[in-house]
């Protein structure tokens, strides 16, 4: 479990004097977001509302995540784009007693999280070859920023730690959900990642062949992916259950996103997350979503979302569940 660090004070968290350049962490003027930058120029920006990663740029300033131009960043609704956190329910679950009254995708993405602190490659007292910065965020059943719907409809004692780790060529997001009460609770977790692409019609997704999936566009029919490559040619909403053992480095169940002429873009690996959701609203659905802009923005995005949503994770009192994804840039 991630240890809490001392909460920093805005506006700037500087590097230790005498060491080579290290990552810097700053706050926005209104303290609504945390921005980390590596000395090599890569950046990540996390909105405290939902602990939502809303930007990830490489050293040249090229954005890797898609964020709707109409996304609400003021806490009035969940953010459309970036990496929202889905917890403790994926979608809605009207037949599940514990979560049937919760809003879609739960309350983690609509609560204000606390920034717990940073750690960098200087934290051990020496610089490493690869600069790194990790940002920790927390949300608990006692937190003042918790969405009121959570306490009203999900009366469990819990603690969430969410960590965002930026390296030169990758971004890792991990979550630990701990049951601080005596009664067990069920939960689902998903990292709802919107990847930015140049042209959805040229995107190829590999790593899902032979996996079963629920096709939510086709009446939630269960199917099997027979093609070695998935292309997006219309509205797509699939929940894949992979057969790979994601704890085995030799068979990590990675999903790779390439574009035109097999140009590699992203490699998504998972830790303790057995599902991958692939989503693109396409034209008609995008048109009907008020916070989706521009309306043809579906051409520049694809959601590849690691999660544990195919079944419920039962977490006993004093126990916890954790999962993570790493998105690696490919060249």
How buried is 136 (Cβ within 10 angstroms: 0-12 exposed, 13-18 middle, 19+ buried)?
buried
Alpha carbons 93 and 186: distance in angstroms, whole number: 12
Among 42, 122, 225, 305, the active-site one is 305
Q: Is 105 left (phi over 0), alpha (psi -120 to 50) or beta?
A: left
- Is 104 one of the annotated binding-site residues? yes
- Is 224 one of the annotated binding-site residues? no
How buried is 249 (Cβ within 10 angstroms: 0-12 exposed, 13-18 middle, 19+ buried)?
exposed
Among 45, 122, 192, 225, the active-site one is 192
User: 262 Cβ partners below 8 Å, 6+ apart?
Assistant: 204
In order, the DSSP letters of 235-278 are: -EEEEEE--S-TT-GGG---EEEEEGGGEEEEEEEEES--EEEE
Question: Cα-flanking dihedrals φ and ψ of residue 92, to 5°?
Answer: -125, 155
Token digits of residue 305: 């979302």
- Is 109 one of the annotated binding-site residues? yes
331 is catalytic: no
Residue written as token pair 């929202």: 84
305 is catalytic: yes
Token digits of residue 259: 């574009």
DSSP 164: E
DSSP 200: G
User: 37 Cβ partners below 8 Å, 6+ apart?
Assistant: 23, 24, 25, 26, 43
Helix ranges, the chain (H): 148-153, 282-287
Residues 232/280, Cβ–Cβ less than 8 Å: yes
Residues 93/190, Cβ–Cβ less than 8 Å: no
Which is nearest to 48 in space by CA: 124, 135, 168?
A: 135
As annotated, the binding site for substrate includes: 80, 104, 109
Enumerate the active-site residues: 192, 305
As annotated, the binding site includes: 80, 104, 109
């Amino acid at each position: 479990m991630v240890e809490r660090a001392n909460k920093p004070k805005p506006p700037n968290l500087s590097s230790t004097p005498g060491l080579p350049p290290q990552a810097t962490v700053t706050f926005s003027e209104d303290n609504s977001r945390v921005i980390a930058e590596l000395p090599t120029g890569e950046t990540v920006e996390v909105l405290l509302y939902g602990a939502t990663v809303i930007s990830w740029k490489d050293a040249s300033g090229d954005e890797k995540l898609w964020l709707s131009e109409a996304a609400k960043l003021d806490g009035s609704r969940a953010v459309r784009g970036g990496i929202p956190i889905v917890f403790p329910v994926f979608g809605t679950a009207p037949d599940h007693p514990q979560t049937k009254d919760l809003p879609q995708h739960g309350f983690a993405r609509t609560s204000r999280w606390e920034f717990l602190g940073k750690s960098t490659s200087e934290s051990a007292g020496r610089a490493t070859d690869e600069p790194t910065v990790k940002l920790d965020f927390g949300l608990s059943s006692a937190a003042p920023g918790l969405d009121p719907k959570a306490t009203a409809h999900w009366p469990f004692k819990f603690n969430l730690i969410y960590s965002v780790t930026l390296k030169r060529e990758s971004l890792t997001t991990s979550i630990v959900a701990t049951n601080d009460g005596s009664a067990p609770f069920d939960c689902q977790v998903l990292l709802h990642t919107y990847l930015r692409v140049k042209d959805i019609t040229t995107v190829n997704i590999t790593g899902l062949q032979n996996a079963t999936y629920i096709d939510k566009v086709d009446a939630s029919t269960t199917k099997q992916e027979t093609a070695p490559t998935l292309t997006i040619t219309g509205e797509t909403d699939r929940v894949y259950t992979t057969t790979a053992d994601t704890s085995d480095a030799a068979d990590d169940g990675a999903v790779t996103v390439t574009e035109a002429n097999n140009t590699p873009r992203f490699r998504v690996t998972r830790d303790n997350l057995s599902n991958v959701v692939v989503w693109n609203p396409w034209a008609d659905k995008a048109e009907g979503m008020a916070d989706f802009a521009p309306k043809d923005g579906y051409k520049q995005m694809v959601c590849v979302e690691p999660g544990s949503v195919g079944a419920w994770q039962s977490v006993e009192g004093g126990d916890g569940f954790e999962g993570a994804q790493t998105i690696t840039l490919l060249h």
